Amino acid sequence: MKEIVVLENVTKKYGNRVAIQDISVSFEEGKITGFLGLNGAGKTTTMKIITTYFKPNSGKVYVDSLDVSENPYRVRKLMGYLPENFPIYDNLTILDFLRFVALAKDVEEVDKEVERVIELVGIKDYKNRFLRELSKGYKQRVGIAQAIIGNPKVIILDEPTQGLDPAQIIEIRKLIKDLSHDKTIILSTHIMQEVEAICDNVAIIHKGRIKMSGKIQELKAKTQNQLTVEYLFDQLDENKKEKVKNLIQEFGLDPVFDTNSIRINIKRDEEEKVKEINKKFYDNGLYFLYVNRNALTMENLFLEAIKE
Ligand SMILES: Nc1ncnc2c1ncn2[C@@H]1O[C@H](COP(=O)(O)OP(=O)(O)OP(=O)(O)O)[C@@H](O)[C@H]1O
Ligand SMILES: [Mg+2]
């Protein structure tokens, strides 16, 4: 196993605002890693740093063992990038646009390379169409095509399925999966299901900090021997929340609060505790409306990772 993209203690500020704070995270060669986080978490900023678009205020970034700050041009050659809100040149045809990109990337056999990527992303029948005539899903394919021109080792896709309809989402996911044979792919998303559907690994970022990273399979295994127990209350004011929290913590557990409900993750073999918690709630006048028991989902694991 080789880590091909490595960030060490990277901080990036916009003016006084810290966008990412002292993050250390690495991405495994030949795998698809989902870079997961809510809006504003710092995904795009991190990606822009990896692609050399931004310099970090502090910290180190390595791509394929090259220090990005010392070798920005060599690093760019190793990478393909689909930015968020991919800017599209409406008045060009697919073919002309991709030729332009190939020339800009200094690709050797331009026509051959353009044909290759057009074939790969499945836009052959559209190659003479103007970009303005394409549906969003096809524009996104063109975006992916331009990212993979020149056969880069590392492909960075910033929310590649954002704004697509469900059918297109499935197609784009399949395309990314197909591309991944011999490539390292880092894709950002705020949807855990997307990560589950196509990624090998995940890194979770929240408010500019890495909260969790690892292999999907290992996380899945972790979910298998856990349960989520959810209590719905009539209402939960701050005072009640505090009481609930203290009570749950007596059991060595840590609740996640929603508006009027709480969620606790427990091990399957600790299920007996639930009875005791129920009783404690009642004994303390914390009457809940109902309690629900579910298998722990990856989504809940994500919410758990980013709780305050
Ligand atoms: N050009 C900028 N100038 C000032 N602040 C910025 C700029 N770009 C991003 N930020 C701030 O940095 C933080 C991280 O933003 P970033 O775009 O990296 O998040 P993100 O995870 O990509 O979010 P989204 O899911 O909405 O794309 C946010 O607080 C954002 O407001
Ligand atoms: Mg973003």
**What are the chain's domains?**
3-215 (3.40.50.300), 225-305 (3.30.70.260)
Residue 285 pairs in a beta bridge with none
Ligand whose nearest atom lies closest to the CA of 54: 1
40 lines ligand 1 (CB under 6 A): yes
pLDDT at 109: 95
Using CA atoms, how far apart are residues 59 and 44, in angstroms rounded to an integer? 17
Cβ pair 101, 146 in contact under 8 A: yes
224: number of CA atoms within 13 Å, CB side?
A: 6
Q: Which residue among 10, 13, 17, 156 has the greatest number of ligand 1 atoms within 8 angstroms of its CB, and so is best to mutate?
A: 17
Cβ pair 266, 223 in contact under 8 A: no
Ligand whose nearest atom lies closest to the CA of 39: 1
Residue 23 backbone phi and psi in degrees, to 5: -90, 140
Q: Which is nearest to 42 in space by CA: 214, 210, 212?
A: 210
Q: Say how many Å lie between the CA of residue 85 and the centre of ligand 1.
A: 13
Q: Say how many Å lie between the CA of residue 205 and the centre of ligand 2.
A: 12
Cβ pair 265, 295 in contact under 8 A: no
Q: Say how many Å lie between the CA of residue 42 and the centre of ligand 2.
A: 7
Cβ pair 211, 205 in contact under 8 A: yes
Ramachandran category for residue 165: left, alpha or beta (phi over 0 → left; psi -120 to 50 → alpha):
beta
Q: Say how many Å lie between the CA of residue 159 and the centre of ligand 1.
A: 13
Residue located nearest, by CA, to atom 14 of ligand 1: 42
Q: Say how many Å lie between the CA of residue 261 and the centre of ligand 1.
A: 30
Ligand whose nearest atom lies closest to the CA of 20: 1
Using CA atoms, how far apart are residues 286 and 34, in angstroms rounded to an integer? 40
Using CA atoms, how far apart are residues 154 and 185, in angstroms rounded to an integer? 6
Each residue's pLDDT, cut to its tens digit, for the chain (308 residues) gives: 899 999 999 999 999 999 999 999 999 999 999 999 999 999 999 999 999 999 999 999 999 999 999 999 999 999 999 999 887 788 999 999 999 999 999 999 999 999 999 999 999 999 999 999 999 899 999 999 999 999 999 999 999 999 899 999 999 999 999 988 889 999 999 999 999 999 999 999 999 999 999 999 998 888 888 999 999 999 889 999 999 999 999 999 989 898 899 999 999 999 999 999 999 999 999 999 999 998 888 888 898 889 87
Q: Which residue among 44, 210, 302 has the greatest number of ligand 1 atoms within 8 angstroms of its CB, and so is best to mutate?
A: 44
Q: Say how many Å lie between the CA of residue 262 and the centre of ligand 1.
A: 30
Residue located nearest, by CA, to atom 16 of ligand 1: 42
Contacts of 268 (CB under 8 A, 6+ apart): 225, 226, 227
Q: What is the DSSP letter of 306?
A: T
Contacts of 87 (CB under 8 A, 6+ apart): none
pLDDT at 220: 87
Angle between helices 110-121 and 136-148 (to 10 degrees): 140
Secondary structure element (H or E) that encloses residue 289, with its range:
strand 288-295
Cβ pair 251, 279 in contact under 8 A: no
16 lines ligand 1 (CB under 6 A): no
* Ligand 1 nearest-atom number relative to CA 45: 18
pLDDT at 82: 96
Using CA atoms, how far apart are residues 237 and 260, in angstroms rounded to an integer? 8
Sheet with 256-257: list strands edge to edge.
256-257, 261-267, 226-233, 288-295
pLDDT at 180: 82
* Ligand 1 nearest-atom number relative to CA 205: 21
Cβ pair 301, 256 in contact under 8 A: no
Residue 279 pairs in a beta bridge with none
Using CA atoms, how far apart are residues 117 and 248, in angstroms rounded to an integer? 55
Residue located nearest, by CA, to atom 24 of ligand 1: 39
Tokens of 36: 């997961």
Q: Say how many Å lie between the CA of residue 19 and the centre of ligand 1.
A: 7
* Ligand 1 nearest-atom number relative to CA 190: 25
Residue located nearest, by CA, to atom 25 of ligand 1: 39
Secondary structure element (H or E) that encloses residue 55, with its range:
none
Using CA atoms, how far apart are residues 149 and 99, in angstroms rounded to an integer? 10
Q: Say how many Å lie between the CA of residue 40 and the centre of ligand 1.
A: 5
What is the dihedral sign for C-alpha 234, 240, 241, 246? negative
